[in-house]
Structure 1
Amino acid sequence: MSADFVARLIGMIVFSILGVYLGTHLGRLANETPSEFVFSVEQYAFTIGMVGALIGLILTPYLTTRPIKSLRMQLSRLSTRSLLASLIGLIVGLIIAALLSFPLSLLPAPFGQVMPFIGVLIMAYLGVSVFLTRQDDLFSMVQGFSRGGAAGAEGGAPMAERTILLDTSVIIDGRIADIARTGFLPGSLLIPRFVLNELQYIADSSDTLRRQRGRRGMEVLAQLQKEPGIPVRITDLDVEGVREVDDKLVILARQLRCPILTNDYNLNRIAELQGVTILNINELANAVKSVLLPGEMLQVRIIQEGKEPSQGVAYMDDGTMVVVENGRDYMDQEINVVVTKVLQTAAGRMIFARPERENE
């Protein structure tokens, strides 16, 4: 039984009772001057009571449960830091309003009765808005005092305390275990329960490839948890009113003020539009690939034909594609090539080269 249904029943009963009382009152007023076309008191009470029951059945959720749900959803989107800053600002505003209430009450009527109440509203609003706007400065100052200033000046503590949210795609990818093992991800790795549920759903899929990817993700998580130097935490934090995992991750990252580790292109774009920091493994992989300049020498093995009739394709150890002009004649051979051009694309870095013998 939903809350809306219970609210409709209660509203129907309450509004019908109010309608009966209103109808009885109107019926008595109408029957003070009896007429042939005037309804009786009972008819007034019954008719208006039924109208009240209908109004209560329709409008009660919009007056009770719907606003409460909307308020809860809005509050769930706020971070704990924002809520705490708002609460502190409200308390400070109310204290200032209490101090001002006595001098304001000494004003001549009617200002002496009205201004204290208006002062409470104004100071409460100003306190919440000011503290909410300057929350970062406030908490930075508090953290600086708690660390005695030394740790804050060095900048090591904030990085050690940083939390990184993991996306399902980056867990399935598997490279996160090796990256975290190198120590390039300071802080703790946080995995929400809804990400684990999605990973389990993939692991239980009827499709063989999806099932294998899901099970590989489970194995990667098991490896991460066994590493003593990699703190991995599972959290039950969830976002109410949101079904998509990507949307939940973005909202949770905004609440916790932490980055998301992913290699999902769509999640990357959506998060960037909403001001959430993204750590993309694919961008990291492209960044650490070896940098080559035109004229440098490489030794590669031609393994397949290119799109053009004379081209051959090879791959470096890091997966970078090398397109060799006139390389089809050297199929399945290791040859020395000279780099002619390096092209950076959305999919990664591509190198164009030609065999060394042609340059001779």
Structure 2
Amino acid sequence: MAEETLLKSFSLGQRLAGAIVLGLIAWPLGTELDRSLAVGNDPQLSVIILVSFVLIGLVATPYLTKLAAKIIISSSQNVASSKILASTIGLISGLVVAILISVPLSRLTDWPGVWFPIILTLLFAIIGGAIAVNREEDLLSLFPRLQNSSTSGGKSNSKMALDTSAIIDGRIANISHTGFVPGEFIIPTFILDELRHIADSSDSVRRNRGRRGLEMLNKLRKDSGTPVQVLEVDRWEGQEVNAKLVLLAKSLHAPIVTTDFNLNRVAEIQDVHVLNVNELANALKSVVLPGEEMELSVIQEGKESGQGVGFLDDGTMVVVEGGRRLLGTTVDVSVTRVLQTAAGRLVFAHPIAS
């Protein structure tokens, strides 16, 4: 309730500010029009212009400010923070120079005293910003601390864009809960829309996957040690979800977290770094060396004659030569060789004679 009241007050403040600013612009404009049209002392035209501008300010200001904020945020996502800092310094420097030059020029009579300072202000602001961006490194070298923070920020981006497949998979939530994932997860709104569409699917398998994804997302936001930011993205209309995600990750200079093999390849072609959860899972599997002995439960038959199959705690398949006769028992085996395949590791072993 308090939050709603605060938002209403803020919106009302925006409207009043817009009405006042436009009113201040409208009054001299109406007065100048009265004078140029030789209306005389009749202030009717000035009042009409003033009231019109005030009404426009009251109605349109919240929408205009929201639109401007969207444009600024959308544009700044593709710009490095060092460039924003450099352009700001250049803009301020240009404005200071323009003010110093405009003070004597403002004393000129008639229109040159009005328009020359305005033109010079705009011109020097643009020139100052352009020069500062062009000489960004030289400018930041004057501020060693800012340069160090900018350099360190450019080397590693703490943001990671989450794909639908990684959310549904759920392992990233467990990994994040351990504290091994630094930085921040970025979930664009089109990924949320895709999850919602999957959860509303008429196919029961897709529906269950979508609901699991929403549950994992809720778990990620509540229990994870990694912050989660939902990013509103309204660009790249007409592109499919994977293409949008690649473009977003490229603009943010952030890696994509996924389990989708095809997305992995497409992103790599476009020079976007990918963090594949399956590759992480394979890398974290326990190391098994030839000659190592272990205890294994043989739970099923192998493909070849006489083979038995068991599994390690991390899911690695172990093929036991001559293990078919030991089906349903727990035996000591010795590792003979380890094969690395596209699907993961495959371990071969033989029973140790008792």
Give TM-score, length-normalised by structure 2: 0.61
Cα drift, residue 210 of structure 1: 1.2
User: Which stretches of structure 1, 4 residues or longer, exceed 2 Å deviation after superposition?
Assistant: 75-78, 80-85, 137-147, 155-159, 227-230
Cα drift, residue 169 of structure 1: 0.1
Conserved 8 A contact 2:162-2:186: yes
Once the two structures are superposed, what CA deviation does each residue of 1:289-330 show, in whole Å capped at 9, x if it has no partner? Answer: 011110001211111111111111111111111111111111
What runs of 5+ residues in structure 1 fail to find an aligned partner? 1-71, 96-123
Once the two structures are superposed, what CA deviation does each residue of 1:255-284 show, in whole Å capped at 9, x if it has no partner? Answer: 001111111111111111111111111111
Conserved 8 A contact 2:177-2:224: no
Distance 1:340 1:84, change over 3 A: same
Give TM-score, length-normalised by structure 1: 0.60
Name the counterpart of 1:251: 247
Match of 1:336 among 315, 332, 335: 332
Match of 2:350 among 350, 354, 359: 354
Once the two structures are superposed, what CA deviation does each residue of 1:178-199 show, in whole Å capped at 9, x if it has no partner? Answer: 1001111101111000000001
Cα drift, residue 140 of structure 1: 8.6
Distance 1:238 1:342, change over 3 A: farther
Name the counterpart of 1:308: 304
- Structure 1 residue identity aligned to 2:160: I
Cα drift, residue 335 of structure 1: 1.0
Conserved 8 A contact 1:271-1:278: yes
- Structure 1 residue identity aligned to 2:261: Y
Name the counterpart of 1:168: 164
Determine if the alignment matches structure 1 residue 146 to structure 2 residue 146: yes
- Structure 1 residue identity aligned to 2:235: V
Distance 1:82 1:228, change over 3 A: closer
Cα drift, residue 249 of structure 1: 0.7
Name the counterpart of 1:81: 80
Larger Rg: 1
- Structure 2 residue identity aligned to 1:80: V
3-state SS of 2:174 partner: helix
Name the counterpart of 1:322: 318
Aligned residues: 251
Once the two structures are superposed, what CA deviation does each residue of 1:212-240 show, in whole Å capped at 9, x if it has no partner? Answer: 11111111111111126321111102432
Aligned equivalents of 1:293, 1:216: Cα separation in 2:
37
Cα drift, residue 138 of structure 1: 8.1
Conserved 8 A contact 1:76-1:240: no
Once the two structures are superposed, what CA deviation does each residue of 1:86-138 show, in whole Å capped at 9, x if it has no partner? Answer: x959x89xx9xxxxxxxxxxxxxxxxxxxxxxxxxxxx9xx79x968x98x68
What runs of 5+ residues in structure 2 fail to find an aligned partner? 1-70, 95-126
Conserved 8 A contact 1:144-1:152: no
Distance 1:345 1:248, change over 3 A: same
CA RMSD of aligned residues (A): 4.1
Aligned equivalents of 1:258, 1:138: Cα separation in 2:
27
Cα drift, residue 158 of structure 1: 7.2
